[in-house]
Amino acid sequence: MIFKPQHMDFELSPYTGLTRESWIEAGEYLLRGIFKNIKQFSDPVVMPRKETKITYPHSADAVGEKKAEYFEGLARSFFIAAPLIHENPELEIEGYKIRDYYKSHVLRICTADDPFCAGTYKELLEIAKGEKSKDPTRTFQQTVETCALVICLWLCKGEIWDTYTEAERDCIADFLRDYAEGNTVPQNWRLFNMLVLAFLNMEGYEIDRSIMREHASHILNYYAGQGWYRDGHSFDYYSCWAFNVYAPLWCLWYGYEEEPYIAAQFEKNSNELMATYADFFDRDGFTNMWGRSCIYRNAATSAFDGNMMLRNSVVDAGLARRICSGSLLQFLEREDFLYEGVPTLGFYGQFMPLVQGYSCAESPFWLGKAFLCLHLPKDHPFWTQRENNGTWEGLVKDEVKVTALDGPALCFSNHEANGETILRTGKVVKQRDDRHGMWNYSKLCFNTKYPWEAAPIVDSEENIRVESQQYVLHDILAETFENANVTFWHGEKDGVLYRRQFFGYNLETECHWIQAINLADFAVPYGIMRVDRMRLFKKPVELTLGAYGFPDNGTEIIRKTENGAQPATAVILKGHDFTGKEKQLAMTIYDGWESLDVIHSTGTNPDSEKSVLVHASAKRMSHNHYEKSILISQVITKEELADFSEDELFPIKEIVYTDKEKCGGYGAVTVRMKNGGEKTVDFEGIEGKLML
């Protein structure tokens, strides 16, 4: 059953109708699903598990993993429960008094001799030694959850933390201290240690300030600009639901008073994120499926609340609530969102190509971070200002607003014509066999209304011949297939975004011996036009390029051609998504491509069980011969079945090359559009500014 709010106000919230009361109802809706699966008060928050191969616990003997699951279930569900407990200390769900349940289980999770203790840091080190681990930097999932725990104890301090005896508080503090002062992962995890130390300090416990300063200085130095932090090789939502939530909380709890310089930088960085972050979401407030841990879904909106914790917050409260509420409804209004009452391991329904091995059945409760906004009082502007839709309210017909950020290598475009936001990324480094990582990060485009599709298997050898929004390179002689595992970023110039992708990149091989493609793309009203140049040293090869995966719930497939001065072929798909909403996609190919085909797939689309993938193909057969190197294509989409116009399907009037052979191997390529616009693509000079 989908979420149906009882309290709605379309005067205050003209886009979503949601109010603070609606959010409280949504939190209670999720808690009901959780507590339906808890048979008795003494049971931990361990939820039904539909899948057992990828997620943890990975075996019945994995004691440390089982303890981590207890803690993850408790702490992450507490994200939802804590603000509701503060709002209504007498709240009962499924026969349980929620305050009493969390008060009891928080103490139990931290008590060494309790059967549901999460495991003390020292205990887990001993278990690790028993597993013959000699790694002195060993880390544990429990460190992550200690941070969630202290945030939630702060949110309902008067209702739970202050009601413990001094001995009970000391027991919890001792448990927390060991993790806070223990080893951590040298990326966003440092913030977990920082917040636990800050909480202990607030509550009068002595802490090691040198450890605090060491972690805080490193977090500050991960900053890449425009509000984004580097978290390993890649950029993703961890910059938003970790760095830009935990750092503001740290400022509030500790930094402003104890480390004013670092706190001021964190505040500045959060405000820089707010300058563009609203445009990361689409006209409906939808969150894009991109990066790892997408099972956390609308937790990406928690960065808005993080900014509102700062002394000098700049966020537009009415716009922030509109996006937070829109993204909440993106998931809660779908029938497939829950499995036995709890959020699935997926983006919408269960979707295992998305899921990482560090997750368990309770991991999706990280989306509870979105509910941290309920700590804001009723009279806060977040709840009292009228919803507005920011950029979307100012766009004129068919306008596209493009934002390109060189620091995190992110380019996102807001398309008035269809209300979608398309993300193009760079600075991506993945192992050549890491298909999962490439799906999460290496797609040419990520679309808020077309979540990324996993690879369909289309031959008996299980070779990946076609990928959605990815090139696949087939070496015909070697019979190998390669995906682009590394994406360098050049940036935007005169309305064109330049990047380079390498197929099977590795550090042992000189880059000139690695097949590559230079990417150049620009926004059109309904999507993206590509004018890419192959950078090949070896032929014969075949190259394929897929459009977005299209949900197949009965799809009409139409083929059209234009036989004029600029010949082109288009395939149009018309149908509906899982929820019944109208969908339409068209892919058009111009110079460089030879064919445009359609394949059907099962189990590779996050929205629907079946899907359709339109894809282009081309071969280059003559080794060391000057052949066509430019590949021009377009993918456009909209959320209705009304036909695209001929000019939308076939927008190019003329393609002008520098070279007389019209292969595009050197010099500029100018694309002149039927609407009078034009774009000049010129790859000269990008070699000197390629960034990872």
pLDDT class for 458, splitting at 50, 70, 90? low
Say yes or no to pLDDT of 308 above 90: yes
CATH number at residue 462: 2.70.98
Token pair for residue 160? 């739970």
| Whole-number Å distance between alpha carbons of 464 and 487 | 19
What total number of domains does the chain contain?
A: 2
Under 8 Å between Cβ of 372 and 300: no
Note whether 318 and 451 are same-domain residues.
no
Q: What is the Cα–Cα distance from 238 to 292, expressed in whole angstroms?
A: 9
Q: Quick one: 685 exposed, middle or buried, by C-beta within 10 A (0-12, 13-18, 19+)? A: exposed
Cβ neighbourhood burial of 271 (10 Å; 0-12, 13-18, 19+): middle
Mean pLDDT, to the nearest integer, of 265-274?
98
Last residue of a domain, one of 392, 414, 449: 392
Task: Kindly state the greatest CA–CA separation across the chain.
Answer: 84
Q: What is the mean pLDDT of residues 561-583?
A: 96
Whether 385 and 408 map to the same domain: the answer is: no
Is the domain of 388 the same as that of 406? no
What is the rounded average pLDDT of the residues 600-615?
A: 96
According to DSSP, residue 301 is labeled G
pLDDT, average across residues 197-212:
98
Q: What is the predicted pLDDT for the residue at 261? A: 98
Pair (528, 597) in one structural domain: yes
**pLDDT, position 136:** 66
The per-residue pLDDT for range 614-641, each reduced to its tens digit, is: 999 999 999 999 999 999 999 999 999 9
Per-residue pLDDT, 137: 78
Residue 116 lies in a domain: yes
**Cα–Cα distance between 191 and 169 in angstroms, integer?**
22
231 and 327 fall within a common domain: yes
**Predicted pLDDT of residue 463:** 63
Instruction: Render pLDDT for 4-44 as a digit per residue (tens, 0 to 9).
Output: 999 999 999 999 999 999 999 999 999 999 999 999 999 99
What's the pLDDT score for residue 129? 74
Domain residues for 413?
Answer: 400-688
The answer as to whether 77 is a domain residue is yes
Give the Cα separation of 348 and 221 in Å (integer).
35
Whether the Cβ atoms of residue 615 and residue 466 lie closer than 8 Å to each other: yes
Q: Which amino acid is at 44?
A: P
224-264, pLDDT tens digit by residue? Answer: 999 999 998 889 999 999 999 999 999 999 999 999 999 99
Q: How far apart are CA 669 and CA 176, in angstroms?
A: 60
| Distance, CA of 439 to CA of 485 (rounded, Å) | 10
pLDDT for 210 equals 98
For residues 371 and 691, what is the distance between their CA atoms, to the nearest angstrom?
37
Q: What is the pLDDT of residue 52?
A: 87
- Contacts for 88 with CB less than 8 Å, ≥ 6 apart: none
Q: What share of the chain is helix, strand, coil (3-state, %, to 5)?
A: 35, 25, 40
666 in a structural domain:
yes
Per the model's pLDDT, the better-predicted residue between 379 and 464 turns out to be 379
Rounded average pLDDT over 646-671: 97
The verdict on 348 and 433 lying in the same domain is: no
CB burial of 499-523 (b: ≥16 within 10 Å; e: otherwise) equals bbbbbbbeeeeeeeebbbbbbbbbb
Answer yes or no: is 14 within a domain: no
Q: Is the pLDDT of residue 132 over 60?
A: no
Q: Which of 351, 368, 392 is the last residue of a domain?
A: 392
**Three state DSSP letters for 451-465:** CCCCCCCCCCCCCCC
Dist CA 309 CA 250 (whole Å): 10
Express each pLDDT in 527-557 by its tens digit: 999 999 999 999 999 999 999 999 999 999 9
Contact present, 234 and 438 (Cβ < 8 Å): no
In a domain, 15, yes or no: no
Residues 385, 468, single domain; the answer is: no
- Tell whether 9 is covered by a domain: no
Query: What gap in Å lies between CA 279 and CA 286, rounded to an integer?
Result: 11
d(CA 155, CA 150) in angstroms, rounded, equals 9
**Residue 132 corresponds to which tokens in the numbers above?**
């013959």
Task: Say whether both 630 and 539 belong to one domain.
Answer: yes
Categorize the per-residue pLDDT at 395 as very low, low, confident or very high, splitting at 50, 70 and 90: very high
Q: How far apart are CA 334 and CA 330, in angstroms?
A: 7
pLDDT at position 55 over 60: yes
| pLDDT, tens digit, 9 for 90 and up, residues 478-488 | 999 999 999 99
pTM above 0.95, yes or no: yes
387 and 427 belong to one structural domain: no
**Whose structure tokens read 């595992």?**
485
The answer, yes or no, to whether residue 461 has pLDDT greater than 70, is no
Flag whether 642 is in a domain: yes
Average pLDDT, the chain: 96
- Where a domain ends, among 342, 368, 392? 392
pLDDT score of 611 more than 70: yes
> Is 277 in the same domain as 129?
yes
pLDDT value at residue 456: 87
Are residue 484 and residue 552 in the same domain, yes or no?
A: yes
Structure tokens at 357: 């091995």
Q: What is the CATH number for 195? A: 1.50.10
Q: Do the domain assignments include residue 7?
A: no
Task: Please report which confidence band the pLDDT of residue 127 belongs to, taking 50, 70 and 90 as the band edges.
Answer: confident
Domain co-membership, 72 together with 25 = yes
Report the pLDDT value the prediction gives residue 564, as an integer from 0 to 100.
84
Residue 363: per-residue pLDDT = 97
pLDDT in tens, 321-368: 999 999 999 999 999 999 999 999 999 999 999 999 999 999 999 999
Residue 62: pLDDT over 90: no
- In single-letter form, the type of residue at position 75 comes to A
Helix or strand or coil: residue 534? strand
pLDDT 10s digits, 207-219: 999 999 999 999 9
Lowest mean pLDDT among 53-57, 273-277, 525-529: 53-57
